[in-house]
Structure 1
């Protein structure tokens, strides 16, 4: 069949642009209602709070450094940790292993379409010192490919969408980069035989020039700090301090704050060993999850079971959405107990791979 894409909708909202292209009637349906309500339902005010402004006072600096230390996956918190307050066993009871409770998850999926959402770093690949070397294993890629054969599957990452795609290289997936601000769907999903479709969504196009300016300024500003690295993720920036001596963290944080202080439309948040600069648009991974579900035709549907697996603070926005609507499960990837809105837990990427394989094996068994 000749591919003849016709633009169904090309609309611009105060925070982004959506383009939906299709031939025939496909997996995606036109969503003018979604676009008309972006500032209302889908683009609700984010509850995620940016890191407090850094001031020169010693207490402020120490608090900032403590926060940076807490983000390290190999360090325990300087303040009383969650296990110390309630005990690891209590935390496990509230966030049990997704592997040990796999049958419970499968039971909840009966009569429903599973839709998979996967973070990348720390979830599909290990956390490594050099972000450019965060390659997933061939076994993990095969597991993700197999999952996508049975379930709509999206990679939702803080990375630039193109970078994530270069790591994963599976055309049948949905890719949501820059914390969901840059989304693109596959031209043809294996679960659909209704034609070819393409979904493109950009939540912060007007910030591209500003982000580029700040990127250049940051490279110049932090060049004196060994190990610091700035990553341009198109709609946001990441300042990695995985390889920075802890004694230099305060200086790094101050320099980053100085650079963005003249950009009131940008905010500073924090992830695992990374400071992130993002536009102050009301969009995050939770909004991206909602947008993709609606694009797939599952808005307000009781016939879908979204499963979101992630390891970072930014994934909590998606976990909150699933916990709030009660129609899916968040799975936190973490070796340590910490505050989370996830329902289940896995300890490391190898367990994520095993969980994905179990899903595939179960679905194959149902098809026999």
Structure 2
């Protein structure tokens, strides 16, 4: 039923759903769902999970109702106001897959994000490097924020900063940390080399050490090695996600700060008619949810098929529901714009 309704919705917007994709087919990750998804979509061997607790999820939905079911209420609140859209990548615009290098965005999702960006200022904020996210998304009409918002570049239509040679300058609050980050990256590579299955991902302003393919008995050994390497560097900290350790600068900056920076860049920081909408599935997205909750206006939406602690007000089950929501949002704005022409 969902697929049929989605196809009908895309058809009304002039989209054709492609049933073949030139990109390699990837297998969704079905790992343990009692942990938070990490923002890099890195996954190892598949594991079996227990069936979802339907009753528990239904109870959780009472507090965090489906953004699709609440769509009319959301658009009623948004009517006449300026909505600014923020999106996570892994687990939100693409499914979590075994190989993070194959977390491809579908053609349908790309069209949906492109359409949304026609009507609303749109940003994608990810834990991955900005360059990697842009490589996946392949759109020029959105903002890109990599390394959890530590590396932000505006789209062509926005006001930008340029250096003396005319090159674009990204906003990078931790730029002075780059030499030290590269040193740590080299040391980490040597440190984890002997641990089977450990993988290092350089996300420019943060370094991710993934251990999904590391034997369980070596997990604590790996964590101790990484933390020991960083403990004498107070300017850095280690954070944990789902089967991933991240080394990042110890500066007061997160996705919530990135959201505020982007609103300010757009000239919306003090506007009373602006409603930020943020969709994300990761624990790092909670910082952005908190900013919206603090404003008491906007739409913090968590992507999750299981109950989890969150300050988000609404929910979507998975990327397929994110796609459906974005298509409805673009269709609503398109019809509203046409009405006033």
TM-score interval, normalised by the smaller of the two chains: 0.7 to 0.9
CA distance in 1, matches of 2:204, 2:329: 33
The answer for the alignment partner of 1:277 in structure 2 is 247
1:141 aligned to which of 110, 117, 122: 110
2:63 aligned to which of 94, 97, 115: 94
The answer for the alignment partner of 1:319 in structure 2 is 289
The answer for the alignment partner of 1:11 in structure 2 is none
1:293 maps onto 2:263 in alignment: yes
| TM norm structure 1 | 0.74
* Pairing of 1:88-237 with structure 2 (within 5 A): 88-188=57-157, 197=160, 200-237=170-207
Say whether the 8 Å CA contact 1:319–1:330 is kept in structure 2.
Answer: yes
The answer for the alignment partner of 1:247 in structure 2 is 217
Per-residue deviation, 1:292:
0.5
CA distance in 1, matches of 2:247, 2:93: 23
Unaligned runs of 5+ in 1: 1-67, 78-82, 190-195
> Per the alignment, do residues 301 and 137 of structure 1 end up closer, same or farther by CA in structure 2, a change over 3 Å counting?
same
> Per the alignment, do residues 103 and 72 of structure 1 end up closer, same or farther by CA in structure 2, a change over 3 Å counting?
closer
Per-residue deviation, 1:69:
7.4
CA distance in 1, matches of 2:242, 2:80: 37
Q: Cα deviation per residue 1:135-175 (whole Å; 9 max; x = unaligned)?
A: 11111111111110111000001111111111111111101
The answer for the alignment partner of 1:45 in structure 2 is none
Query: What SS does structure 2 have at the residue aligned with 1:140?
Result: helix
CA distance in 2, matches of 1:88, 1:362: 29
CA distance in 1, matches of 2:79, 2:202: 42
1:310 aligned to which of 280, 284, 292: 280
Q: Cα deviation per residue 1:267-321 (whole Å; 9 max; x = unaligned)?
A: 1112233211110111100000001001111112221111000010100000000
Query: What SS does structure 2 have at the residue aligned with 1:361?
Result: helix
Say whether the 8 Å CA contact 1:285–1:317 is kept in structure 2.
Answer: yes
Per-residue deviation, 1:197:
4.3
Per-residue deviation, 1:337:
0.6
Query: What SS does structure 2 have at the residue aligned with 1:117?
Result: strand
Query: What SS does structure 2 have at the residue aligned with 1:187?
Result: coil
Unaligned runs of 5+ in 2: 1-32, 39-45, 162-168
CA distance in 2, matches of 1:109, 1:151: 12
Say whether the 8 Å CA contact 1:155–1:173 is kept in structure 2.
Answer: yes
RMSD: 2.5
| TM norm structure 2 | 0.80
